[in-house]
């Protein structure tokens, strides 16, 4: 194995990982949808046991821990609204004093 080939492989892995993490940070919804789609396709029974294991590993955390529709209640995934357990923050109006008038 040549050094150039190893360097190219290492740079490719680093850039690919960075790109995936950047997309995951910037667009978490579409990333989660894509991740769930890949996991569902790989998890089908027609694939080998190794690919099904990879499919289960790729499942989004909400699907593994009980997200929407899992029976754990609304807002268990944190994506569709506020939970009844969280308190609503009351807004406080900002009061800006007007500058004093100068007398002539």
Would you state the pLDDT for residue 73? 46
Closest to 43 (Cα-Cα) out of 34, 35, 55, 32: 55
Q: What is the reported pLDDT for 64?
A: 65
Q: SS3 letters for 26-83? A: HCHHHHHHHHHHHHHHHCCCCCCHHHHHHHHHHCCHHHHHCCCCCCCCCCCCCCCCCC
- Three-class SS state of 3: helix
Q: Is 89 helix (H, G, I), strand (E, B) or coil?
A: coil
- The span from the CA of 21 to the CA of 12, in Å, is 14
Res 86: pLDDT: 52
pLDDT along the chain (104 residues), means of 10: 91 96 91 89 89 87 60 50 57 84 80
Structure confidence at residue 11 (pLDDT): 97
CB-hemisphere CA count at 13 Å for 37? 6
């Amino acid at each position: 194995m040549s050094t150039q080939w190893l360097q190219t492989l290492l740079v490719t892995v680093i850039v690919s990982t960075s790109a995936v993490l950047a997309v995951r940070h910037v667009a978490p919804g579409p990333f989660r949808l894509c991740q769930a789609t890949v996991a569902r396709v790989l998890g089908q029974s027609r694939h080998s046991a190794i690919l099904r294991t990879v499919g289960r590993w790729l499942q989004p955390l909400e699907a593994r821990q009980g997200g929407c529709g899992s029976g754990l209640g609304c807002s268990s995934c944190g994506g569709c609204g506020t939970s009844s357990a969280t308190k609503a923050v009351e807004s406080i109006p900002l009061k800006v004093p007007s500058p004093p008038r100068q007398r002539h």
